[in-house]
Chain A
């Protein structure tokens, strides 16, 4: 990829290669959750618009004979469904037993990410246990500082400052998103306020009007019955 030419020149080819391998290795022995086939697990991510979400995953199948988890065979697939805050489908795809899925949010708010495993063979899968190792990352974090340093020949201090700059950008983005959320909250509260006000007035009118109608109707009824 880009930067290989300069990398070779500065003798950083090997660490770069390793860095890229590390990135590809995915969640490794990361945390996992146990599922059965077709059991859907959903996660919620509240993110601003334009955020890239990368989910690295690895699935494993429990082998009762060996009493441990083994990597899944190729006929176990992961189905990923992502819904945006307006319940529109952002992603609905089938992936292999290991890899990564990615999507970019179009609107800010709560996104729902649902996963379930299916065996694509038609034979009904025995009641086995499966494990999904999952590692979800938000935004485009520059994890590969080695490559960054080699490309621009930066000092360690410069790298530290770069890390701080990225942190501050993350904070800024979150604050902007928070401003949008607060606006929505305020709109909901004001709408509730309005509704309570107008419905109370309306209901008082209806109450009075119904009372007046009742009296008139009964009065004419009693007059007809010659009781009044």
Chain B
């Protein structure tokens, strides 16, 4: 499908330029993933992402529920070199500029825990944010004051959204703890009442048994 209106020998028409820009946009679209997943005990979960050379990527992660709220995390480059490794971290943020093109791997490990499964949230972003219209990226003139103000507000709002996410995660953590406390209080109360009854009855029975003589076998009177 050729671009409409192109004639041989003429300079590339605007639609063709737009086509090229859009294809470039595709290659550098800020890809990333923001996911929350469950990591069972003694398990490891790895994610992979294809990164271009020179692209900057960042990884934020936080443990939401489970055990001591800690997890091991490591990031490997396509050559197998470990570029980041932390053990038993509750939350952290890591950025890196890719020197090698290829598939980068980041893994979360709960192998040190034997019975607590964890819920982990991570946010992995690659590349920069592209402009909302392709031709806004290559401006010749400076931004007007209005546009600069818009850019500033946009960046500030992105910070607000990020901090909302972290707040949401902390709230989820606290709520999980509160609900666990609630159910523990219920079970413990019922259990303690039952134990109370059992103990008092068995105390009485035990005491009674101390004072009860064993009945001797009836003697037959000899005359």
**A residues whose Cβ falls under 8 Å from a Cβ of B:** 11, 13-15, 18-19, 22, 25, 27-34, 41-46, 110, 131, 134-136, 145-146, 149, 156-157, 159-161, 163-164, 167-168, 170-171, 174-175, 178, 181-182, 184-185, 188-189, 191-192, 195-196, 199, 202-203, 206-207, 210-211, 213-214, 217-218, 221-222, 225, 227
Contacts and interface: CB of A to CB of B under 8 A. Distances in A.
Interface in B181-223: 181-182, 185-186, 189, 192-193, 196-197, 200, 203-204, 207-208, 211
Contact of B172 (A32, A46, A175): A46
A178 B160 CA distance: 14
B4 interface: yes
Contacts of A181: 168, 171-172, 175
A46 to B, nearest CB: 6
A31 B48 CA distance: 5
B37 A41 contact: yes
B171 A44 contact: no
B185 A43 contact: no
B31 A44 contact: no
A133 B168 CA distance: 26
A222 B208 CA distance: 9
Given A14-B15, A213-B200, 20 more contacts: A14-B19, A15-B15, A15-B19, A31-B31, A31-B33, A32-B47, A32-B48, A34-B48, A44-B119, A145-B133, A146-B133, A156-B147, A160-B154, A163-B132, A174-B164, A181-B168, A182-B171, A192-B185, A195-B186, A199-B189
A48 B150 CA distance: 28
A160 B150 contact: yes
Contacts of B84: none
Contact of A157 (B4, B33, B48, B150): B150
Contacts of B168: 46, 174, 178, 181
B33 to A, nearest CB: 5
Contacts of B153: 164
B60 interface: no
A15 B22 contact: yes
Bin chain B's interface residue count.
35 or more
A174 B171 CA distance: 13
Contacts of B48: 31-34, 131
A191 B189 CA distance: 14
Given A14-B15, A191-B182, A210 B196 contact: yes
B30 to A, nearest CB: 11
Contacts of A149: 133
Given A14-B3, A44-B36, A188-B179, A203 B45 contact: no
A210 B157 contact: no
Contacts of B174: 185
B140 interface: no
B196 A163 contact: no
Given A31-B47, A41-B37, A199 B161 contact: no
Interface in B98-136: 119, 124, 132-134, 136
A225 B36 CA distance: 70
Contacts of A213: 200
A156 B182 contact: no
Nearest to A137: B34
A28 B136 CA distance: 24
Nearest to B23: A18
Given A33-B45, A33-B48, A227-B211, A43 B132 contact: no
Contact of A195 (B25, B35, B154, B189): B189
Contacts of A46: 36, 168, 172
Contact of B178 (A29, A30, A188, A207): A188
B167 interface: yes
B38 to A, nearest CB: 6
Nearest to B203: A214
A171 B181 contact: no
Most buried by B among A30, A43, A44, A171: A44
A19 B154 CA distance: 23
A157 B22 contact: no
Contact of B38 (A44, A161, A178, A214): A44
